[in-house]
Amino acid sequence: MTATTSFFNSLTVAENSKKNNYSDSDKLEYNCVHGYVSPRKIIYKCSDNKWIKWRGEKCSFKRCKLPEDILNGHYTIESGRNFVFGMIISAIYFSSYQMMNDTRTCQDGGWDIQLLNYQLPACEGTENGFTDFEELIRYGHKRKDRKKSAASRISMYLQCSKHTIPIDINGCIVSPYKPGHILVFRCTDVNLKMHGQRTIECLSNGKWDHPYPICGEVTCPLNTTENNIKMERFPDLEGPVKPGYSLTFSCNGQGLVLKGQREITCQSNGEWSSPFPECLVSKKCGPPPHVNNADTVEMTKKECNTGERVEYMCFNKYTLDSHPAFSKYLTCQQGEWRGNIKCLMPCSVTVGEMDERGIELAFADQQKMFAPHDDHITFKCQRGKVSVGFALRQKCNDGVITLPVCA
């Protein structure tokens, strides 16, 4: 038996197990190609002139650890997902009021470069220790009492003047801030959410009226407590659920039905796009209900499960209303039949009605004429008469048609 170079795109034959011909029970060792990894060696065995998998697990993309936090910046995903081999991220930060960025790629050994941290400038002093102009600038400050910089970075809008210098962490009583001075905060990273007061004021007792706010990572809570609901995450990562991530739900066990959205997404404000769904015990419906001028296409059952639907067909000459609010199905939903079916009526015209108006059919000589909904009937004036009202060609609208008059 001859060797094959690869069974899958992610595999390649190990050099030490290559040979020209193989006999029964021979083994062939495979390696994962560049960018892939397997927790165990992958070995195929020759059996009955076929290669069968003998040991090992499939190759999967190598992963990179989550990127570290960036002071005064954030990263965005350029291509790829799940932080695996080949994924590219772009780090965006500010330095001296100019936006800068670096690009990193997930490779065999991890991220190819380490990101730099750029510190934004604060108000610079003059010979009297203060600046001589007034404007709002952004000043980056990292609190030392927080373990994660992503949870503590804040941006402070300070009014640089002869009465202000960078603030003191412990309050305004030991700094040159005087009662009435106000600080306005915002998070330097758009992916962070502020917790606390955006504006604080120095009071007459030398204390700030509110504690300093904290900028924490925006995440959505996993607040479901149901045991009978299955939840899958995308991307499939451990840890907090960030904006853009999604959850897909399904019910565990038979006889349950999902009530709510099957998929929800974490939004930029830390809230889910829809409430968490529930798994309810499925209720059966009785036989399908009667629908005017229609009947079911197939024989109906005495009981139907949630999710089953029944198709209806309008009687001859009747037309099914196809507008979005209507369809040809009724669906069983938790013990109730839901849906809207409407059969539009045809129009009929008798010889007596036409004689009263001095008209007759333009293209036929019948005692009675039918026209389905939205179809037309064309009339003509009887001999010696002329039209005195309405057009001679009229359209049927759900059983109603306007008849012209000739005199």
The secondary structure of 255-305 as a DSSP string is TEEEES-SEEEB-TTS-BSSPPPEEEE---B-SPPP-TTEEESSPPPS-B-
CB atoms within 10 A of CB 253: 10
* Domain-located, residue 20: yes
Checking if the pLDDT of 70 tops 70, the result is no
Are 305 and 362 in the same domain? Answer: no
Is the residue at 85 inside a domain? no
The answer on 212 and 160 residing in a single domain is yes
155 lies in some domain: yes
Q: What is the pTM of this model?
A: 0.40
> Which residues contact residue 194 at a Cβ distance below 8 angstroms, ignoring those fewer than 6 apart?
154, 185, 186, 187, 213, 214, 215
Please tell me what DSSP assigns to residue 151: G
- Do 300 and 352 share a domain, yes or no? no
Query: Which DSSP letter does residue 406 get?
Result: E
Do 200 and 182 reside in the same domain of the chain? Answer: yes
If we measure between CA atoms, which residue out of 232, 277, 231 comes closest to residue 257? 277
Chain-centroid distance, C-alpha 169: 41
Residue with tokens 């190598």: 62
Q: Do residues 294 and 342 touch, judged by C-beta distance below 8 A?
A: no
Is residue 104 domain-resident? Answer: no
Q: Is the dihedral of CA 224, 226, 230, 236 positive or negative?
A: positive
Query: In the beta sheet, which residues pair with residue 73?
Result: 93
Tokens of 68: 């570290």
Q: Are residues 310 and 367 in the same domain?
A: no
Strands (DSSP E) contained in 18-135 are 27-32, 36-37, 42-47, 50-55, 60-61, 73-79, 88-95, 98-107, 110-111
Which CATH number do you get for residue 306? 2.10.70
Which residue type sits at 271? E
The tally of CA atoms less than 13 A away on the side-chain side of residue 348 is 7
Query: From the CA atom positions of the chain, what is the Rg in Å?
Result: 38
Is 123 part of a structural domain of the chain?
no
The answer on 238 and 167 residing in a single domain is no
Structure confidence at residue 212 (pLDDT): 85
Q: What is the pLDDT of residue 28?
A: 82
pLDDT given at position 178: 73
Q: What is the mean pLDDT of residues 329-357?
A: 94
Least confident of 182-191, 253-262, 307-316: 182-191
Q: Is residue 196 part of a domain?
A: yes
> Can you give the residue range of the structural domain that contains 307?
294-344
Looking at the structure, tell me whether residues 51 and 16 fall in a common domain: yes
* Residue-by-residue DSSP string for 340-387: ---EEPPEEEEHHHHHHTTEEESS---SEEEE-TT-EEEEEEPTT--E
Q: What is the band of 194 on the pLDDT scale with cuts at 50, 70, 90?
A: confident
* Alpha-carbon span 257 to 263, nearest angstrom: 15
Q: How far is CA 259 from the centre of its chain?
A: 18
In a domain, 385, yes or no: yes
Which of 83-92, 173-182, 395-404 reaches the highest mean pLDDT? 395-404
* CATH code at position 351: 2.10.70.10
- Which pair of structure tokens corresponds to residue 162? 């002869």
**Closest by CA position to 380, among listed 361, 402, 365:** 361
Q: Per the structure, how many domains does the chain have?
A: 5
pLDDT of amino acid 148: 34
Q: How far is CA 240 from CA 1, 191, 222, in A?
A: 52, 13, 9
- pLDDT-wise least confident of 64-68, 152-156, 272-276, 319-323: 152-156
Residues 316 and 250 both lie in one domain: no
Regarding whether 274 and 205 lie in a shared domain, the answer is no
How many Cα atoms occupy the beta-carbon half-sphere of 99 within 13 Å?
Answer: 7
Domain assignment present for residue 6? The answer is: no
**Residue 119 reports pLDDT greater than 50:** no
Q: Are 188 and 153 within one domain?
A: yes
Q: Work out whether the CA dihedral 159, 164, 170, 172 comes out positive or negative.
A: negative
In this predicted structure, which of 31-40, 85-94, 172-181, 194-203 has the lowest mean pLDDT?
Answer: 172-181
